[in-house]
Amino acid sequence: MIFNLFRKTPAIEPVYAIYNAIVTQSRQPIFYAEWRVPDTVTGRFDMISLHMALLFRRLRSEAGANKNFSQAVFDLFFKDMDRSLREMGIGDLGVPKRIQKMGNVFFGLLAALSEAMDRNDRAALEGALSRNVFAESQDAQVRALAEYLLRQDATVATQAVDAITGGIIEFESPQ
Residue 159 has pLDDT above 90, yes or no: yes
Per-residue pLDDT at 9: 57
Residue 64 has pLDDT above 80, yes or no: no
Cα gap 95→83, rounded to integer Å:
9
Among 17-26, 32-41, 112-121, 132-141, the minimum mean pLDDT is found in 132-141
- The pLDDT-based confidence of 1 (bands split at 50, 70, 90) is very low
Domain limits of the chain?
A: 10-165
Over residues 11-35, the pLDDT tens digits come to 789 999 999 999 999 999 999 999 9
Beta-carbon neighbour count of residue 22 at 10 Å? Answer: 23
Per-residue pLDDT at 63: 63
Dihedral in degrees, nearest 10, Cα atoms 77, 78, 81, 83 = -100
Per-residue pLDDT at 62: 67
Q: What are the distances in angstroms from CA 106 to CA 56, 140, 169?
A: 12, 24, 21
Apex CA 35: angle with CA 34 and CA 39, to 5°? 90
Per-residue pLDDT at 149: 97
Cα gap 135→148, rounded to integer Å:
19
Mean pLDDT, to the nearest integer, of 72-82? 90
- The pLDDT-based confidence of 89 (bands split at 50, 70, 90) is confident
Dihedral in degrees, nearest 10, Cα atoms 90, 91, 93, 94 = -10
- The pLDDT-based confidence of 166 (bands split at 50, 70, 90) is very high
DSSP 166: T
Residue 5 has pLDDT above 70, yes or no: no
Residue 157 has pLDDT above 50, yes or no: yes
Q: What is the mean pLDDT of the chain?
A: 88
Per-residue pLDDT at 175: 83
